Structure 1
């Protein structure tokens, strides 16, 4: 008997197949998706509220600024009486990229140290040894000379490098961060460094600075203790020799371009820059 099927003949149709189990679940998928999205959102909110930042991009300048300020105080305390110090004004550099779609800014604070001699590595090793142990600070000798490296926490890097004859620059910086509410530098009132600045201006025959620029940072010794630098500028005199009686036996550097001394906790650095003279008087942090 042949198994061929005649043209136009349709096989008999039976009852349809019952719906499979996957068809019932399909009705619940939209609701389950919504529940999962809500749960995920709650978990993210709790994590952001309660967990510490795990990457640098989660801590903005307003949050990272105090870490940088405290790091500067630690650096000043670590320098101690090894040289004459001056705080540089904080520098916020905008325009960096956190992601391809988000701009940010970087904060850097610096401490300039004038010291006698040229043993940069020795000075940096002294500073590294006096910094907090959890910073894991150390000194490496690179092709560009000795370099200090450390981690102040909160994704704030600490560095140290030579910045000219008899000068070292110590820095604390955030790298690129969200701006957030922005960085607000610490404020303080001038102390003995203000009188030292006035004396230096007077010795050079320059008028008193009515409102000298003041920069401050908290010292690690305790709340309410600050390191401060006051700055002033004026026309450059022919020589800086008139500063010698003020410095006495506490001179740190004496060159035609830079005169620096340290008397107790107060440092004074005077630098000629073309037709201008720049003065900075500072009170450091206790070691």
Structure 2
């Protein structure tokens, strides 16, 4: 049996405490050995709850020779600095999305990981849920005819004042938080040869960051992706693939609970059919995929660099009012 990857966690963010650490403790593929935090009390509390040791600073954890990989759930503005520091310290990295907020820096970090024979893995978890492969199989088998377009939406309710998602100094805003998901869905189903046709970002009265956005993408074959995302909305997590003779719809597409049984809805001229799938924990699946990458030396960034380029294009287009 392969030994679990010895994992350290840089930061005590909500996603780490609520989702990643509990899943990591359950997982046979990783072993949580340390947690680091700027707040000593919070670091100690988090470490005790998950049976590992605490560090009261990120450099101290990176210097621990027993830590072979780190998970970085820090605010987006800090991702580049600490992802790079972890790679420089010889650690594999499971990075919260986005890896950085600039495509050239994302590409540079992947180049650094390759040079150091390390794995840099962006934590976009939904792609590891088998519900998306079930949708892909329907499209591949011609269930909706020729694929024409994708519509994807991921929006969440407003967080309390002071939340990192609402702070510009920490890289807040809907593009980096919820916008990643529909952009990645477009890449997942339509491939890398997409371009941004138009984009829009907005913020409400008193907001310091963008809280709503939309984008239109297309490829050379005329297929389109209509994307929407936001931080001040009712919860929506859905995509729809439309073809020449029907469509397939998936709700709870991006952040399904571990016990959720997905329902894929297929609509064609022959009628409507619902396909119920088994529940699956995409957090544990992500950890397993990361551990396999570490053990087998798989460091291919896949669509992450192209995703970073598209996010940059969306941001640029929106700022120009296009």
**TM-score range, shorter-chain basis?**
under 0.3
Name the structure with the higher helix share.
Answer: 2
Q: If the length of structure 1 is used for normalisation, what is the TM-score?
A: 0.25
Which protein is bigger by CA-based radius of gyration?
A: 1
Give the TM-score taking structure 2 as reference length.
0.23
